[in-house]
């Protein structure tokens, strides 16, 4: 086993500028999903705790100049960037230990990728043009000037899942704070320390005023639900399952909250009949990255009937040689599912796939050589009915569904046969032909022949039930801004 950096716990929440335990003294266990060992505990935030954090965020927004002092915000965010930079190795070990993330991924978006990206938000806080003139209009024979001003929405409630815990917390805190909001973050119970460590850095290594950032970890999902119903919260930014997203949206309706949702996916990769099947097979096995716990992974593979057998055999070979297991081993791209519950959920879907008549080509169970930890074998299904449960629902495990198609129109129809619309891919010898197909797919991001699209300045989000709004980039920043237009008499 490779040597890991020392793991440092952070048990305290950040509420009103103070690092504190839960108001009732409660804690919950943080479990390493690769070993099933309790690595420590975390303050089990209560409803009272999150309400205190919301009150502090409201006060900080209403009574300090945080929302209007761009230079100060930018300075504070730079301090946070520097603190994150100094804490890379700490976050690397936390992400691996609490999320079961492969160490390899921490050198990309799971850790270094977004720590490197954070200065983007510090710079945007200062450089964004918050006010600009609109064109003049004529009103009852009089010229009128107009100014459009963008200003912070107010108190933001941020709710995040566990699969990319550092990235997902930072990609909400970065733009929301840069835009001048105050934020209460409720991380997933499976991965509390990524968030509580950010809270510690905010408290100890930045001048961010008390209340501007609140971090409330809790084992109780209903503590997060307070953010979607409390009238003092103006906007909820949520990343998680579509099912929970619906609840957040419904709860926010009573106070007409702005709701920004990054939800699930069931993305399709389409191999056109002239595709490089070796490349398709390799790329398809990447669905097992982080044990399939990625919203944008391409979990359906559409193969042309004319090359179905050839493609399937190559994908099977790629699946069967996948290295997986101990996430601290730098050669592995796949570790465990995050929890026993997720492991059982994935195994349940595999059972359902078999029941509904899909052909299990490889995998399908708990690997015999990994009895400890919440592992599931890389699993490949062929001849999957595009309307069946495993082709329609998000499994969030290392499971690929291979579906045959007749021609390009049929492939587009099957790819779009989904409530989701997050990502996808097209493979062909012709980029033009790929682009023509990609333009017909109803998703927020697409990759041609495996080309990468993700970056901090690039809008990411979903069509249909994959979400509302876009994260990252100027578009993502503007999700956290209100718009005010002021009519002004001409002065010239
Ligand atoms: P989840 O929906 O179960 O939980 C997400 C968060 O919501 C957690 O913090 C949880 O405590 C909280 N929560 C649960 N019930 C709540 C409620 N009623 N009100 C408010 N908050 C509540 O999702 P998960 O299992 O943690 O994460 C996996 C899901 O996240 C997958 O569906 C995946 O596709 C999605 N995801 C989407 C993106 C994206 O950018 N589109 C990125 C990563 C993960």
Please name which of 86, 85, 94, 87 lies closest in space to residue 9, comparing C-alpha atoms. Answer: 94
Active-site entry in 42, 76, 194, 295:
295
- pLDDT of 437 > 80? The answer is yes
Cβ burial of 241 (10 Å; 0-12, 13-18, 19+) is middle
Residues 192, 28: Cα–Cα separation, whole Å: 10
58: part of which helix (H) or strand (E)?
helix 47-63
Longest dimension (CA), the chain: 82
Instruction: Tell me the pairing of strands 213-215 and 37-43.
Output: unpaired
Q: How many CA atoms lie within 13 A of 211 on its CB side?
A: 18
pLDDT per residue as tens digits for the range 449-490: 999 999 999 999 999 999 999 999 999 999 999 999 999 999
CB 14, CB 212: distance < 8 Å: no
Give me the residue label for tokens 């200003």.
Answer: 151
Angle of helix 70-86 relative to helix 119-127, nearest 10 degrees? 170
* Domain ranges across the chain: 13-263+466-486, 268-455
> Which mutation among 236, 240, 253, 458 tests ligand 1's pocket best, with the greatest number of atoms within 8 A of CB?
240
CA distances from 470 to 143, 194, 291, 319, 475 (A): 37, 23, 25, 33, 6
- CA-derived radius of gyration, the chain: 23
Tokens of 411: 């492939």
pLDDT per residue as tens digits for the range 1-40: 444 568 999 999 999 999 999 999 999 999 999 999 999 9
Answer whether 342 contacts ligand 1 (Cβ < 6 A): no
Which residues, in sequence order, are bridge partners of residue 151? Answer: 482
> Given this model, what pLDDT does residue 2 score?
46
Give me the residue label for tokens 């991380």.
Answer: 187
CB 126, CB 151: distance < 8 Å: no
Closest ligand 1 atom to 462 CA: 41
Closest ligand 1 atom to 264 CA: 34
> Given this model, what pLDDT does residue 138 score?
97
CA 261–ligand 1 middle distance (angstroms): 10
CB 134, CB 147: distance < 8 Å: yes
pLDDT per residue as tens digits for the range 340-373: 999 999 999 999 999 999 999 999 999 999 999 9
pTM exceeding 0.75: yes
> Given this model, what pLDDT does residue 5 score?
65
> Given this model, what pLDDT does residue 4 score?
52
Give me the residue label for tokens 């409390």.
Answer: 230
Please name which of 142, 26, 122, 139 lies closest in space to residue 80, comparing C-alpha atoms. Answer: 122
CA 240–ligand 1 middle distance (angstroms): 2
Closest ligand 1 atom to 159 CA: 9
pLDDT per residue as tens digits for the range 135-177: 999 999 999 999 999 999 999 999 999 999 999 999 999 999 9
pLDDT per residue as tens digits for the range 174-199: 999 999 999 999 999 999 999 999 99
3.40.309.10, 1.10.12.10, 3.40.50.2000, 1.10.620.20: which CATH number matches 268-455?
A: 3.40.309.10
Which residues, in sequence order, are bridge partners of residue 334? Answer: 324
List, in sequence order, the alpha helices (H) in 39-164: 47-63, 70-86, 88-99, 103-106, 112-117, 119-127
> Nearest 5°: phi and psi at 85?
-60, -40
Answer whether 156 contacts ligand 1 (Cβ < 6 A): no
> Given this model, what pLDDT does residue 98 score?
98
The mean per-residue pLDDT over the stretch 441-448 comes to: 98
> Which mutation among 185, 186, 189, 244 tests ligand 1's pocket best, with the greatest number of atoms within 8 A of CB?
244
Give me the residue label for tokens 């398709």.
Answer: 280
Answer whether 241 contacts ligand 1 (Cβ < 6 A): yes
- Written as one string, the DSSP assignment of 267-321 is EEEEE-TTS-HHHHHHHHHGGGGGGG--TT-EEEEEEEGGGHHHHHHHHHHHHHT
CA 244–ligand 1 middle distance (angstroms): 6
Answer whether 405 contacts ligand 1 (Cβ < 6 A): no
8: part of which helix (H) or strand (E)?
none
Measuring from atom 37 of ligand 1, which residue has the nearest CA? 263
Closest ligand 1 atom to 262 CA: 41
Tokens of 462: 């979903």
Answer whether 226 contacts ligand 1 (Cβ < 6 A): no
Residues 241, 358: Cα–Cα separation, whole Å: 25
> Could you tell me which residues come within 8 angstroms of residue 421 by beta carbon, excluding any fewer than 6 positions away?
265, 442, 443, 444, 462, 463, 464, 465, 466
For the domain bounded by 13-263+466-486, which CATH number is listed? Answer: 3.40.605.10
The mean per-residue pLDDT over the stretch 304-315 comes to: 98
- Written as one string, the DSSP assignment of 63-76 is HSSTTT-HHHHHHH
Tokens of 448: 């041609």
The mean per-residue pLDDT over the stretch 328-333 comes to: 96
| Residue 320 falls in the annotated catalytic set | no
- Is residue 52 very low, low, confident or very high in pLDDT (cuts 50, 70, 90)? very high
| Residue 262 falls in the annotated catalytic set | yes
pLDDT per residue as tens digits for the range 59-96: 999 999 999 999 999 999 999 999 999 999 999 999 99
> Given this model, what pLDDT does residue 492 score?
86
Active-site entry in 262, 394, 471, 479:
262
Residues 45, 248: Cα–Cα separation, whole Å: 19
Answer whether 467 contacts ligand 1 (Cβ < 6 A): yes
Answer whether 296 contacts ligand 1 (Cβ < 6 A): no
């Amino acid at each position: 086993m490779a040597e890991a950096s020392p793991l440092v716990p952070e048990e305290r929440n950040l509420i009103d500028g103070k690092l504190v335990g839960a108001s009732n003294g409660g804690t919950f266990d943080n479990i390493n999903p690769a070993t099933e060992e309790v690595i420590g505990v975390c303050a089990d935030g209560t409803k009272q705790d999150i309400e205190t954090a919301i009150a502090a965020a409201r006060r900080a927004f209403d009574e300090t100049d945080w929302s209007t002092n761009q230079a100060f915000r930018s300075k504070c965010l730079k301090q946070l960037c520097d603190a994150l930079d100094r804490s890379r190795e700490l976050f690397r070990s936390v992400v691996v230990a609490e999320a079961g993330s492969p160490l390899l991924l921490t050198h990309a978006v799971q850790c270094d990728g977004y720590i490197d990206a954070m200065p983007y938000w510090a710079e945007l806080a200062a450089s964004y043009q918050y006010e600009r003139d609109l064109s003049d209009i004529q009103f009852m024979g009089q010229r009128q000037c107009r100014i459009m001003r963008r200003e912070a929405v107010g108190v933001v409630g941020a709710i995040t899942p566990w699969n990319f815990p550092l990235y997902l917390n930072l990609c909400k805190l970065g733009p929301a704070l840069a835009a001048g909001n105050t934020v209460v973050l409720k991380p997933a119970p499976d991965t509390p320390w990524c968030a509580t460590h950010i809270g510690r850095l905010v408290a100890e290594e930045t001048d961010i005023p008390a209340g501007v950032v609140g971090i409330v970890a809790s084992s109780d999902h209903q503590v997060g639900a307070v953010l979607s119903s409390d009238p003092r919260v103006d906007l909820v930014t949520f990343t998680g399952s579509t099912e929970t997203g619906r609840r957040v949206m419904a709860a926010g309706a009573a106070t007409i909250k702005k709701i920004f949702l990054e939800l699930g996916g069931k993305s399709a990769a389409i191999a056109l009949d002239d595709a490089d099947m070796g490349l398709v097979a390799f790329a398809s096995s990447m669905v097992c990255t982080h044990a399939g716990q990625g919203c944008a992974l391409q979990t359906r593979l559409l193969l042309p009937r004319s090359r179905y057998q050839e493609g399937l055999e190559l994908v099977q070979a790629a699946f069967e040689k996948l290295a997986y297991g101990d996430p601290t081993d730098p050669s592995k791209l796949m570790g465990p599912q995050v929890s026993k519950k997720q492991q059982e959920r994935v195994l349940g879907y595999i059972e359902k796939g078999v029941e509904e008549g899909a052909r299990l080509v490889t995998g399908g169970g708990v690997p015999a050589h990994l009895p400890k930890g919440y592992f599931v074998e890389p699993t490949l299904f062929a001849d999957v009915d595009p309307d069946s449960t495993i082709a329609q629902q998000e499994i969030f495990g290392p499971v690929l569904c291979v579906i045959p198609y007749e021609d390009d129109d049929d492939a587009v129809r099957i790819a779009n046969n989904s409530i989701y619309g997050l990502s996808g891919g097209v493979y062909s010898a012709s980029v033009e032909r790929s682009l023509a197909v990609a333009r017909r797919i109803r998703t927020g991001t697409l990759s041609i022949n495996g080309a990468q699209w993700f970056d901090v300045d690039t809008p990411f989000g979903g069509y249909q039930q994959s979400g509302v709004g876009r994260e990252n980039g100027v578009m993502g920043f503007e999700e956290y801004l209100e718009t005010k237009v002021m009519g002004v008499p001409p002065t010239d």
